[in-house]
Amino acid sequence: MGHSQADKAGSRERILKQAAQQIREAGLESLSVNKLMRSVDLTHGGFYGHFASRSDLLAEALESALADSQLKARSFGPMVRSYLSRSHRDSPGTGCAIASLAPDAARADESVREVMDRHVEGFVTIVANALALHEMADEGADDEALVAVSAMVGALALSRVLTDPKRSDAMLRAVREHLLALDPQAE
């Protein structure tokens, strides 16, 4: 097996990406160092060559999850449509970590919470910019962004709870339409 220094960076990356997916699918608490290492074909002992502790890994994995689920800067309409889509709802492991992990982060330790805090603010800024591109004063754009982000995160999380596919779809559709109506320039 690989023991080169180049391999090491690769291993770290694979561990981190797997962790980023697993926490979004199963929650922060459910992540097990043993299972995680097994899932990237390594033994558990090697973990501590890459991370100082499980707790450190969690903060880094959350950062990674939030970074790669960050929506590309886009205009408001496409952003809302893609966020509140069935495909996003059905793939939490690669989707927005705010929607899957906000409550987990709120009750986690300081370092994890700081990461989530920063990315929530980042998301609000992106949405505010998309809205400010046309029409609004900055102040109004921030308030509207807070509303849009709340509704998007809430709707996605709740759509994953609803068992009846029709109701789950209705949740996404109702919020999508409501938010699109906020932005007069939405196509």
Partner DNA sequence: TGTACATCAGTGAACGCGCGTTCACTGATGTAC
| Partner from DNA, its own copies, none contacting 127, C-beta within 5 to 8 A by type | none
DSSP letter for each residue of 22-79: HHHHH-STT--HHHHHHHTT--GGGGGGT-S-HHHHHHHHHHHHHHHTPPPS--HHHH
Contact window for its own copies (CB under 8 A) among 11-19, 35-43, 73-81, 97-105: 97-105
Contact window for its own copies (CB under 8 A) among 6-14, 21-29, 43-51, 61-69: 21-29
- Kindly write out the interface string for residues 106-145 of this chain, putting x where it contacts its own copies by CB under 8 A and - elsewhere: xx-----xx-xx--xx--------------------xxx-
Distance (Å) of CA 125 to CA 75, 121, 131, 138: 13, 6, 10, 11
Residue 121 CB neighbours (<10 A): 11
Q: Does 8 bind DNA (CB under 7 A)?
A: yes
Residue 158 CB burial class (10 angstroms; 0-12, 13-18, ≥19): middle
Q: Does 7 bind DNA (CB under 7 A)?
A: yes
Q: Does 109 bind DNA (CB under 7 A)?
A: no
- Kindly write out the interface string for residues 32-61 of this chain, putting x where it contacts DNA by CB under 7 A and - elsewhere: xxxx-----xxxxxxxxxx--xxx------
The backbone torsions φ and ψ at residue 48, rounded to the nearest 5 degrees and listed phi first, read -80, 0
Residues that bind DNA (CB under 7 A): 1-8, 11, 31-35, 41-50, 53-55
